Amino acid sequence: MTLKLAASNPDPEPSAAGQGPRILAPGAPPSPGPVPNELAQHLSFGEALVWWNAKDRIDVGPVGLVLLAVLVILGFVTLFAPEFWSQPWSELAKPIAALLSPAALVLLRERLDQCSVLVTDAAIVGVDRGGHAVRLGLQGIASVRRDLLRGGLVLAGRDGRVRIPPSLLDDARQAIASQQRNRVRGSSTIDDPMGWLP
């Protein structure tokens, strides 16, 4: 009889290039891999990176839902008013463009949401697609608001505003919580009506 040590959490298979999800700090969610150099340049000397991720793709799900709704509406128009389709194309284009305009707005929103978010041991950094970074200290967050144009949240403080897209909200919150566990909060209050900040 032999005893064999078994790991409770087996390590994932490493890829050939060292890429793949990595947990950078205890309690933090997995990051997609090593931080790219263009994002790492926004870190301060000696700062510990806790988590990072990027929304670099346009999610076609919301756009598809809007297009599906347009098809359903046009189907009902065809059923109840088939003479709608007998109009000249110049007149027909106006109502169809009006029906498709929400899809264009959702597509624009998805495009504006493309950014990267880095959480360090002391700050949260938002980097837009153009490489412009906004750094906000975790202790300097004054308010948390919904971002009505882009979806997601806006963390605001004296140093600026960091926008977090909806797809990164849960992981960013978990990463911030991993750094707030053993810290004593100051007497300043944070205006957070949604209770998002841990």
One domain for residues 123 and 100: no
* Count of other CB atoms within 10 angstroms of residue 153: 23
pLDDT in tens, 7-18: 555 555 555 456
Tell me how many domains the chain contains: 2
| pLDDT for the residue 184 | 62
The Cα–Cα gap between 183 and 169 comes to 22
Q: Is the dihedral of CA 184, 188, 191, 193 positive or negative?
A: positive
Cβ atoms of residues 129 and 115 within 8 Å: yes
Q: Is residue 22 part of a domain?
A: no
* pLDDT interval class at 190 (50, 70, 90): confident
* pLDDT interval class at 186 (50, 70, 90): low
| pLDDT for the residue 117 | 97
Q: Is residue 1 part of a domain?
A: no
* Count of other CB atoms within 10 angstroms of residue 173: 17
Quick check: 125 pLDDT over 80? yes
pLDDT in tens, 78-93: 999 999 999 998 999 9
Q: Is residue 26 part of a domain?
A: no
| pLDDT for the residue 29 | 95
Residue 95, domain extent: 60-111
| pLDDT for the residue 188 | 67
| pLDDT for the residue 2 | 66
Residue 96 contacts by C-beta under 8 Å, 6 or more apart in sequence? 74
Instruction: Pick the closest to residue 11 from 21, 26, 1 (CA basis).
Output: 21
One domain for residues 124 and 50: yes
Residue 52 contacts by C-beta under 8 Å, 6 or more apart in sequence? 24, 31, 32, 35, 39, 116, 117, 118, 119
